[in-house]
Chain A
Amino acid sequence: MHAITHPLPARQLKGDLAVWILILSELLVFGLFFLGYAVAARRHPALFEAGQATLDTGAATLNTLALLAASAVVVMAIERLERQRTREAGRLLALAALLGSLFLVNKALELHHHLALGITLSTSLFHMFYLGLVSFHFMHVLAGVIVLSWVARRCLRDTPPELNTVWSAGAYWHMVDLVWVVLFPLVYLL
């Protein structure tokens, strides 16, 4: 038997350390917000229940499906890219960005509906949380869609970014998705 001359490769982080720190920080921001929401909802159960009753659960469910589907498509795209099937990956990423955009349009309509009713951050504690959380998350989806579109464009032109960059972009998108998966039941259902 030969001695092992090549040690196992050191465990490598998929994606950038800096982006991972960003993702963890963002989760912390949302986590604090969720915690605040939970505390406030506990203290004013009637107010929060009444507020939730005015939300459109159907539209939000559709949005949840769009984001989950987009995440799944991103996974498929990265798997294609790892096997050098760049254009295929590009098409999938474009689809993911499209699903993300669907979320944005749907959410914009929902927000417009509420704002047209004269609801502001000052309307009630529930509405402060609802508008705050939803619009803050909206900005993140928007950023995610821009990132996905950029990666998709590069792939479709056969000049993909480094795999590490794509992993980072994918991780960011999954974070956006993950936050919604907590936000949706917390604000709309529970």
Chain B
Amino acid sequence: MKYQSQKVARLYFMAAIGLFTGQILFGLILGLQYVIGDFLFPAVPFNVARMVHTNLLIVWLLFGFMGAAYYLVPEEAERELFSPKLAVALFWIFLVAGALTILGYLLVPYSGLARLTGNDLLPTMGREFLEQPTITKLGIVVVALGFLYNIGMTILSGRKTVINMVLLTGLVGLAVLFLFAFYNPDNLVKDKYYWWWVVHLWVEGVWELILGSILAFVLVKVTGVDREVIEKWLYVIIAMTLITGIIGTGHHYYWIGTPGYWQWLGSVFSALEPIPFFMMTVFAFNMINKRRLNHPNKAAVLWAEGTAVMAFLGAGVWGFMHTLAPVNYYTHGTQITAAHGHMAFYGAYAMIVLTIISYAWPILRGEKAANQRAQVLEMWSFWLMTVSMVFITLFLTGAGVLQTWLQRYTDDPLPFMVVQEKIAPFYWMREAAGVVFLIGLLVYLYAFVARGKPAEDATAA
């Protein structure tokens, strides 16, 4: 590694992987609760398991993004991090706050947690994905501000690269849009309207900038292709992301009480949201084909390629399937949404974090790439997790199509719970695929052990 302060990234990556493991365990509990409704009840009710599963996802991705930033920003800016101490302090604050929040979900009834944390002073709880107590949300803002200050000072006083500027834009956007989590109007339509400004404009807006810049950074490093070429692609991808993604928010506004024109605007613009993801795929493979060096870290290259393909499939293709208003009229909120959510989050965001960890981890240990055996194990984990995620998505899609048909489309629609029983075989198959995913994750964790002790005399590039 070039700069000592990049080392703080290790803490963040470790936390990310730990929370990722927790997310998968709760995913398996949750998957089982779809078919065995009282599994672990009353200790872990379905709504709590779901909240923990989704919140852990968001938190581990945020840890991953921050770790990625702490790793790549100094290298791009060609200077040490502004304050490594601040980075370490914020890490512990975020980790403790996150752990307390999850424990709160698990140990106290949600309404009790709301009372305990003084939600009535500034009510922000009780909304999907934004379930965190207000005090945790404030903690997130503090951590985000400190993080942006640290990263911003490093970037502004160092070499300004396109990768750094795009990353910074994405991170600032992430922090600013999160502020809408504090806006909680009584009017349910307005509530949902602005809720999407956090949820949609994160994952289909600013997070894509973060994804693009991390991918570009790794590609610069593993392919040796001219920075100018990669930067130009980054610009174009970002332009297309924002052109389609911002007005594409409209695909969430079809049936919540917003004006009717959203059905047109949402359909047209979000139908094109796959384009930036498609560009990312073309970009990644183009750069790898034009590579000027064969980087010894084959696993990292595989993760980068995987991200480009799976993000396009999960976010692009599976998103398109139900984004047009006339289609969404029937599929809204069915298992089709769950299928899309799983592959999109894994393909775009989980995989990009795993990509940067795969690339950076050996270097942080003082070697250019892990040993052969560890890399083979890591690539096995790649295939196990990725293929099982494809199956999870396909089974959920099957469940969703059947659900849409039986519950919404036929002349004699069946009640929700009757349909849930009928699609149970798909849920069982999804759970089986989930077990394979967990095995893949265990192999991934074992690959870290298989790296052995870092070479003492190794000097990394």
Contact = CB atoms under 8 A, between A and B. Distances in A.
Q: Is B truly associated with A?
A: yes
Interface of A: 16-19, 21-22, 25-26, 28-29, 32-33, 36, 40, 121-122, 125, 128-129, 132
Contacts of A26: 243
B128 to A, nearest CB: 28
A33 B236 contact: no
B240 interface: yes
A114 to B, nearest CB: 15
Interface of B: 232-233, 235-236, 239-240, 243-244, 259-261, 264-265, 267-269, 271-272, 275, 279, 282-283, 286
Given A18-B232, A18-B236, A19-B236, A122 B261 contact: yes
Nearest to B269: A29
3 closest pairs, A vs B, by CB? Answer: A128-B261, A18-B236, A121-B261
B272 A16 contact: no
B236 A28 contact: no
A36 B235 CA distance: 29
Contact of B275 (A25, A36, A132): A25
Contact of B279 (A21, A36, A40, A121): A21
Given A18-B233, A21-B282, A32 B264 contact: no
A18 B230 CA distance: 10
B406 to A, nearest CB: 30
Give the interface SS of chain B, mostly helix, strand, loop or mixed: helix
A129 B235 CA distance: 29
Contact of A29 (B268, B283, B286): B268
A54 B234 CA distance: 42
B265 A132 contact: yes
A182 to B, nearest CB: 15
A32 B271 contact: yes
A36 B240 contact: no
Contacts of B239: 22
Nearest to B279: A21
A22 B244 CA distance: 12
A25 B264 contact: no
A132 B264 contact: yes
A125 B283 CA distance: 38
Contacts of A122: 259-261
Contacts of B271: 32
B282 A29 contact: no
8 contacts: A18-B232, A22-B236, A25-B275, A36-B264, A121-B259, A128-B261, A129-B264, A132-B265
Nearest to A131: B261
A28 B275 CA distance: 10
B268 A36 contact: yes
Contacts of B264: 36, 40, 125, 128-129, 132
Contacts of B244: 29
A25 to B, nearest CB: 5
Nearest to B260: A122
A176 to B, nearest CB: 13
A17 B232 CA distance: 10
Nearest to A121: B261
A186 to B, nearest CB: 15
A141 to B, nearest CB: 14
